[in-house]
Amino acid sequence: MYMAGSFLKRSFIILVAVFTVLIVVSTMTPLASATHIVSAEKAEPPREETLIIGGGLWNPPTNWNPLLPWVATTGTIGLIYETLYLYEPLNDTLIPWLAAEEPKWLDNQTLQIKLRDAKWSDGTPVTSADVKFTFYELPQMLPSLYYSSMANYTIDVETPDDFTVIFKFNTTAISYPDFYSALYTIPILPRHIFKPIVEEKGAEVLQMEVVGADKPEDIVGSGMYKVYMTTQDAAYLVRNDDWWGKKYFGLPGPKYIKYIMVFSNQVALGLLLRGDLDWSNFFIPGIPDLVKRYNFLVTFYKHPPYYLSATVAYIFVNHNNTIMTPEFRKAMYYAIDIDRIINEVYEGAVVKANPVGLLEIPGWKKFIATDLINSYNYTYDPDKAKKILDEAGYVDIDGDGWREAPDGSKIDLEIIVPYGWTDWMQAAIIIADCLKAVGIKVTPSFPAYGLYSDKMYRGDFDLLINNFGSYGSISPYLVYNWLLWPDAPDIGEYSWSGNFGRYRNENVTELLENISYTPLTDEERLKKLYYELEKIFLDEMPYIPLWCNGYWFQATTFYWTGWPTEENPYTIPVSWSGRWTADAGLLVLLHLKPTHPTITTTTTTTTTTTVPPTTTIPPTITATTTATTTTPPPAPTTTTTTTPPAATGVSATTWAIIITIIIIIIAIILWLYYRRRLR
């Protein structure tokens, strides 16, 4: 009896302890379905003054270091630290930002840039000394800096006055496309903040999450926004009403920006349709139907493809595999039904890439050899694929339905894409099915992103889909240099800058060098060079262009109007990291105006939803629930285990109460049971 009573007491004490812990936890730590934690000293900004954005925040917003653009929170470059120019691909325009006018060549090695009357958020003027520090001094101080190669071709930078910067170049070493790209991608840094820190810390500055401040809210930048506060799954920014650009551009419409971290299509779609997400850069299935059903939903086009083209998705093939001959690669191209991918996976929301793998944007069209491309007649033609394979000796020797290589070895390939990237996963399945139809055995594989990226950079794959470096830019050289990068290390070493399959061709190397050393204004010479490069691409098909991934963009007019569309194409509506300046996404903020809706509350059996009174919310929302290729993901060394916010659900407190009640019931049952046993 004593032992039973002692056991009962211990059990009851444990249950009471669990009960107490649950109560404490319920008041301190919300579950995944709970609302975001807000800093105690600051309130959630007013909804009608806040622009809520999703689609580019994939990690907790702790890193705001502009020297680490691949891990820094989106908006670090553009909203806080600004560039000299913006690049707007729709009109192939370099837009002066901190710069006051277009770059001016004084001679073939001297470039002059004039600056606007700008200032840092601490009131210090932005001067030519800051530009010299950023482009000339810092690359020499930090050899491991991501743009330190500028030191190889920049002889000197002169600053005759606070508003004039004069670059002196080595004309036999300068890469014109890389330098012009730097003008709209490298942020100008405050010399008075960064130089003392770099002198003291050296390369340690590249490990910092915030430079020159104790917390993100105190960062000194020149941008139109400052950090307001951060949580584990949201970054809040507040407009800098003293922004220097006010007299040139006016102030942006939203007083606050809230960038939320969302991993689920269903959650993103639910937030969007009920007015809790204003600007979405997610790939959301079902857009053709949604655009027809809801007049408050905005996409760039009201008709297919709905989105502007952003990148080209390629099949990278491993050139260390002797099976991958030019004939084999060309046969693969003819065998793959790209239109099937476009229709079945993307519902017509993307377009087919051309066979030379370039986006057909205004600045690039003049360099795309259309007549040459047409002469090759690259189309979906499985019969032609079979003929090429037969003639090259890829035949089924043992009658098992699969072709063997000319040397008799088995062909058993694997195509990899990251797990959870549902569109690429479906595309890989279709590609394998198409290749099966011509006798090539390919198995789709979906490793976690970390393993996928490791295999990609090391060259440890047979076939792989990727699009990371193929964005539109001021020069198609930047894509080809990524795709065919001559300096890619051997298989096994990380090839950070591209050419993941290690394609080697001395003629390509020479052509890329000649293109890089040719001024962007010498279009006739560039056309000839690109023609030769594209001819090699068509002859050898080093990698296989498939479709053009879109600038996924959906928005609503619940709270904000003035979105860029086909009728008003002033810029590309994208908020992904790096694209605020590289695609002139900042212009969206300057065009947005509040709609000032009247808010009402509609209660259902599960949630309370705040919506404008003119909006009818569908009773159910159906969408794919897994993550997709919304934006180039963070560097492979960056991981996160943060639980994504849920659109709806039971609160943490409610869950704690439910669990507590269950525990109490169990305790009572145990009490009665042992009490009866003791009798």
DSSP state letters, 322-353: TT--HHHHHHHHHH--HHHHHHHTTTT-SEEP
CA nearest 561: which of 253, 290, 175? Answer: 253
* Average pLDDT value over all residues in the chain: 86
* Residue 232 reports pLDDT greater than 50: yes
pLDDT at 108: 86
Q: What is the dihedral of CA 244, 250, 254, 259, to 10 degrees?
A: -50
Work out the average pLDDT over 6-18. 43
pLDDT at 266: 78
Q: Quick one: CATH architecture of 92-201?
A: Alpha-Beta Complex (3.90)
Alpha carbon distance 516, 304 (integer Å): 36
pLDDT at 662: 72
SS3 187: coil
The DSSP H or E segment spanning 287 is helix 287-293
**Residue 83 — pLDDT band, cuts 50, 70, 90?**
very high
* Residue 516 reports pLDDT greater than 70: yes
Between the CA of residue 166 and those of 114, 131, 134, 391, what are the distances in Å?
Answer: 9, 10, 13, 59
Spatial contact of 177 and 184, defined as CB atoms under 8 Å apart: no
**Residue 672 — pLDDT band, cuts 50, 70, 90?**
low
Work out the average pLDDT over 20-40. 36
CA nearest 301: which of 287, 312, 313? Answer: 287
Work out the average pLDDT over 351-379. 97
pLDDT at 421: 86
**Residue 250 — pLDDT band, cuts 50, 70, 90?**
very high
Tokens 């408050």 locate to 296
Alpha carbon distance 99, 101 (integer Å): 6
Alpha carbon distance 574, 590 (integer Å): 14
- In the chain, the amino acid numbered 522 is D
Give the percent of the chain with pLDDT over 70. 83
pLDDT at 238: 98
* Residue 291 reports pLDDT greater than 70: yes
* CATH topology assigned to domain 309-550: Dipeptide-binding Protein; domain 3 (3.10.105)
Q: End-to-end CA distance of the chain, in Å?
A: 9
* Residue 37 reports pLDDT greater than 50: no
Q: Which residues, listed in sequence order, are joined to residue 487 by a DSSP beta bridge? A: none
pLDDT at 629: 40
Do you find a cis peptide bond into 66, omega within 30 degrees of 0? no
Q: What is the CA radius of gyration of the chain?
A: 28
Alpha carbon distance 483, 73 (integer Å): 26
CA angle 143–469–492, rounded 5-degree value:
65
Tokens 């379905």 locate to 33
pLDDT at 659: 60
DSSP-assigned letters across all residues of 582-607: HS-THHHHHH-EE--PPPEEEE-SS-
Work out the average pLDDT over 322-329. 96
Alpha carbon distance 85, 473 (integer Å): 13
pLDDT at 307: 96
* Residue 90 reports pLDDT greater than 60: yes
Alpha carbon distance 432, 416 (integer Å): 11
CA nearest 468: which of 451, 477, 460, 456? Answer: 456
* Residue 71 reports pLDDT greater than 70: yes
* Residue 11 reports pLDDT greater than 50: no
What's the token pair of residue 640?
A: 């996160």
Q: Is 164 exposed, middle or buried (0-12, 13-18, 19+ CB in 10 A)?
A: middle
Work out the average pLDDT over 97-124. 97
* Residue 602 reports pLDDT greater than 90: no
Domain boundaries, given as residue ranges, for the chain:
44-81+223-307+551-599, 92-201, 309-550
Q: Quick one: CATH architecture of 44-81+223-307+551-599?
A: 3-Layer(aba) Sandwich (3.40)
Of 26-30, 263-267, 522-526, 589-593, give the lowest mean pLDDT range: 26-30
* Residue 170 reports pLDDT greater than 70: yes
